[in-house]
Amino acid sequence: MKSEVRKFQQFIQKQNLLWSTEREIIAEQVFDNHFHFTADELFIQLSQKGNNISRATVYRTLELLEKSSLVSKIQLQSGKHLYEHIFGHQHHDHLICQKCGKMIEFHSTDIEKLQKEISAENDFKMTGHCLKIYGICSDCQKEKQINNQSKQKTKPISRS
């Protein structure tokens, strides 16, 4: 059993909840994923591997994984939630393209320092943060420029 799964098992037991084969299978798949995923994508992955686990069990287990601080849930502007496992990984923030949904991870020591300073100035004990910057990625910007150039070339010339 992976150390992440073992930590989750310990969390479940400390909460006086039942450790089940389904929870173990879900946790193993979550920690095998090295990308952002939705609960439905996880459900499909598990089903394709022949696991007969209900969608509700997947959702409930993801909630517990988030509560255990082993997984992070990111809410997009669309209302959709993405998950990623964070145990053993350096904290990072996200740039999110509003057109294609591309997510770029980044880490900034300046942003981390500024947050600590702001918290201290306000006598606030920071326990964590989630920074999401929304915009348009470079690929989508290029695509828009290409489309605009095509429209300009095909634009009819008006004659007076």
pLDDT band at 25 (very low <50, low <70, confident <90, very high): very high
pLDDT value for 131: 85
Residue 48 has pLDDT above 80, yes or no: yes
Return the CATH number of the domain spanning residue range 90-142. Answer: 3.30.1490.190
pLDDT value for 144: 73
pTM of the complete model beyond 0.85 = no
129 by DSSP, 3-state: which? coil
Q: Are 12 and 19 in contact (CB under 8 A)?
A: yes
- Residue range(s) of every CATH 1.10.10.10 domain in the chain: 1-89
Q: What are phi and psi of 85, to 5 degrees?
A: -80, 140
Return the CATH number of the domain spanning residue range 1-89. Answer: 1.10.10.10
- Residue range(s) of every CATH 3.30.1490.190 domain in the chain: 90-142
pLDDT band at 94 (very low <50, low <70, confident <90, very high): confident
Number of helices (H) and strands (E), helices first, in the chain? 6, 5
